[in-house]
Amino acid sequence: MGDNLVNFYAGQPPLNRLSFIRPSVDKINALLNAESTRFIAFKDLKPLVQENELGKLVFLDRKAVESRIGDGYMGSGGDSKEAVRTMETYRKPSDNALVFLGIDDRTSARENIETEIQSSEKQVDLANPPGTAFFAVDAGRGAEGEWEISGTQWGDPRSSASSMSGWEAGLFAQARALIDWNTRNRFCPMCGSQTYSLWAGWKRGCITGLEPIPGKEPCPSLEGLHNFAYPRTDPVIIMGILNSAGDKILLGRQAKWPKGMYSCLAGFVEPGESFEDAVRREVMEEAGIEVGPVRYSSSQPWPYPANLMVGCFGRAKDGQRIRFDLDNELEDAQWFDRPTIRSLVSSPTGSKYSEAEIKRLGKLANSGSNHKDDQETANALAPSERKTGEGDAEGDKRGLTRVPPDTAIAGKLIRLWADGGVDLVSRL
Ligand SMILES: [Zn+2]
């Protein structure tokens, strides 16, 4: 059982995605063209934000995005099985990405509750909830994406997100992951042909389904289920490892991290592993520590580009020696006691990082390093509270002075344990 925490990027509350209407071209186009509908835009995966207000998304109306919408979404124009499968709410391969995100039904949800209390006869129409519809639109990359809108700018994704409200951060996370996925998967992994967008941005199909190549066998992707046809979410486990008494936590650091920063150990879940397996494997590989019971705490969407951070706690056996020579990922790892961590998280500087440090961690996460663990552990630091001043370029050394902020799930796990409000050990 989890801790029911709501993490940054998770929506707070999320949009009503109405995923079941994505294949309906009439319903989607009605929302696309509604006066109240709003659009958030990206260029080179950077969000359109207000000038001098990095953390405020710009919500464009239908008229403002006319030049990027083109023909909108097209439909099958027929009821044959083939037409329905290959032409449900689609866009041409040359069209820029346009994604239906969902409806903000918060107001109506509250009204619905009141209505329900007043009259049991009035029911909520879950198929057509009222509210503002949101779409994400891609301006494009580089020169082709040039799009001047006065009073706005294209914001650095991590810096912008770090200043957003929780609700806007959720919208941003969903939109950025989908725009990224659509622009990254323009060719069929099975046959190399172009792909095109289906289901209002939530599916991609091989163009040979629309335009068969004479004399060639149909592309294998046209039959059966294929995970590349749908947006991916890749799980990463982030773990708070405790000693048997639960009064110490294992934190580590990489040499490239900002000075004095320690965080939870972390790693990708590999195929054929459960979360629990991945926690035990990663802690053994990174620190040589054997972990017994593991339990799930909470999770966090992470749109760089499409991860799901899965926060877990685990209990280690006492008396083990920490070692780094198995995978050589960490520069240091230590057991820290609760008073040490508690004083750090209550200190105004205990989770402050300069903009330069955030960017450096972002680069580390996106560097394409061939050591994949470099990427995922850099991910353990989320958009953070910033302070002015340059970061320390030359790493530190082994003195704990900072942990991630609570906008990162690692920071949340550390605080949950440090606050001691939950008896974590007896639940492990
Ligand atoms: Zn194909």
Q: Is 14 part of any domain?
A: no
Residues 32/72, Cβ–Cβ less than 8 Å: yes
Do 222 and 245 reside in the same domain of the chain?
no
pLDDT at 83 (0 to 100): 78
* Same-domain pairing of 247 and 348: yes
* Residue-wise DSSP of 394-412: S---S---B---TTSHHHH
Looking at residue 398, its pLDDT comes to 59
Nearest to 373 by CA among 237, 170, 179: 237
293 with 256: CB under 8 angstroms?
no
Same domain, 216 and 303: no
Strand, coil or helix: 356: helix
Instruction: Look up the pTM and report it.
Output: 0.87
Q: From ligand 1's centre to the CA of 200, what distance in Å? A: 20
Taking a C-beta distance cutoff of 8 angstroms, is the pair 149, 168 a contact? no
Residue 229's alpha-carbon distances to 28, 97, 174, 202, 249, in angstroms, are 20, 15, 17, 9, 41
Same domain, 162 and 272: no
**Residue 317 forms part of a structural domain:** yes
Same domain, yes or no, for 240 and 222? no
- Same domain? 196 vs 277: no
User: What is the per-residue pLDDT for 420?
Assistant: 87
Contact 403, 414 (CB under 8 A): yes
Beta strands in 51-202 (DSSP E): 53-57, 98-104, 132-140, 152-154, 195-198
Residue 322 in tokens: 């920490």
Measure 205 CA to ligand 1 centroid, in angstroms.
8
Which pLDDT score, from 0 to 100, does residue 381 have? 53
Answer left, alpha or beta for residue 62, where phi above 0 means left and psi between -120 and 50 means alpha.
alpha
Question: Within this chain, do residues 284 and 212 fall inside the same structural domain, yes or no?
Answer: no
86 burial class (0-12, 13-18, 19+ CB within 10 angstroms)?
A: buried
Judge if 158 and 267 occupy the same domain. no
pLDDT score for 282: 97
C-alpha 51 – ligand 1 centre gap (Å): 42
Task: Give helix 409-419 / helix 338-345 axis angle, nearest 10°.
Answer: 120
Question: How far apart are alpha carbons 333 and 285 in whole angstroms?
Answer: 12
- For residue 80, the CA-to-ligand 1 centroid distance in Å is 21
- Residue 12 covered by a domain: no
pLDDT number for residue 123: 65
What count of residues does the chain have? 428
Q: Consecutive sets of 10 residues in the chain, 428 residues long: mean pLDDT of each? A: 85 93 95 97 96 95 93 83 84 94 76 51 77 95 83 92 93 97 94 96 94 89 87 95 95 91 96 97 97 96 94 95 92 95 90 77 60 49 39 50 92 94 79
Please count the structural domains in the chain.
2
Are 38 and 143 in contact by the 8 Å Cβ rule? The answer is no
Please report the pLDDT score of residue 385 as a whole number.
Answer: 39
Question: What's the pLDDT at 384?
Answer: 38
Among residues 229, 250, 274, which one ends one of the domains?
229
In a domain, 216, yes or no: yes
In a domain, 97, yes or no: yes
Q: Do 218 and 73 share a domain, yes or no?
A: yes
Determine the pLDDT at residue 116.
Answer: 52
Among 205, 229, 253, give the residue marking a domain's end: 229
Residues surrounding ion ligand 1 at CB below 5 Å: 188, 190-191, 193, 206, 219, 221
- 218 Cα: distance to centroid of ligand 1 (angstroms): 8
Same domain, 222 and 256: no
Q: Is residue 2 part of a domain?
A: no
9 assigned to some structural domain:
no
pLDDT given at position 366:
59
Pair 239, 224 in one domain: no
Same domain, 240 and 325: yes
Q: Which domain holds residue 261?
A: 234-427
* Gap from CA of 225 to ligand 1 centroid (Å): 13
Please tell me the chain's helix, strand, coil percentages from 3-state DSSP, rounded to the nearest 5: 30, 25, 45
pLDDT for residue 237: 97
CATH number at residue 321: 3.90.79.10
Last residue of a domain, one of 199, 229, 259: 229
Count of other CB atoms within 10 angstroms of residue 18: 23
Tokens of 80: 């044959």
Which residues on neighbouring strands pair with residue 15, listed in sequence order? none
Q: Is residue 3 part of a domain?
A: no
Rounded to the nearest angstrom, the distance between the alpha carbon of 216 and the centre of ligand 1 is 11
* E-assigned strand segments in 46-178: 46-50, 53-57, 98-104, 132-140, 152-154
